Amino acid sequence: MKCNQCQQADTKVIESRDVSEGETIRRRRACTNCQYRFTTYERIERPQIIVIKNNGTRELFGREKLLSGLYRACEKTPITSLQLERLVANIEQQIYACGDQEVQTAKIGEMVMEGLAQLDEVAYVRFASVYRRFKDIAGFEKELLQIRERKVSIPLEP
């Protein structure tokens, strides 16, 4: 690894630390030439996943896009950023575990709804109302009745 300061290629690792639940390794390095210290991150390079939208178009899976949608659904709820990050990481892990290079938006949507149902009922209903595109109040009421029957409100570990 080249030193940022003097561009010397000879550096040594001072400390390594596991971050992101085993997904990333943080390394503190020191240049053997100028003693400059810097941090690098090493992570597994995952294959690019293609999302097949409902209209048949394809686009690259975007973690940020998923997280952004979740933040909108979770506005003014007690859900923390850390809980949303963990939910997205869990969804990503499920997608990669399938081993497919393509995934339907419907599958991602169901994973999101399952995760939100465990976190917060209001966020779940907000997301479901957009995702399921309720045409009338009856569809909305049906979803609310299913929530009441399930009555799942167990937050993920903070």
Does residue 158 lie in a domain region? no
Please give the full DSSP string across 46-98, using - where no structure is assigned. PPPPEEE-TTS-EEE--HHHHHHHHHHHTTTSS--HHHHHHHHHHHHHHHHHH
28 and 96 co-located in one domain = no
Q: Which range of residues forms the domain containing residue 34?
A: 11-43
Per residue in 73-91, pLDDT (tens digit) is: 899 899 998 899 899 989 9
Bridge partners for 25 per DSSP: 18, 42
59 and 137 co-located in one domain = yes
Q: Please count the structural domains in the chain.
A: 2
60 and 112 co-located in one domain = yes
75 and 108 co-located in one domain = yes
39 and 54 co-located in one domain = no
Does residue 157 lie in a domain region? no
**Predicted local distance difference test score (pLDDT) of residue 152:** 46
Helix (H, G, I), strand (E, B) or coil at 43: strand
Number of neighbours of residue 49 by Cβ within 10 angstroms:
18
Residue 82 contacts residue 158 (beta carbons within 8 Å): yes
Per residue in 20-72, pLDDT (tens digit) is: 767 789 999 999 999 999 999 998 888 899 999 989 999 999 999 999 989 98
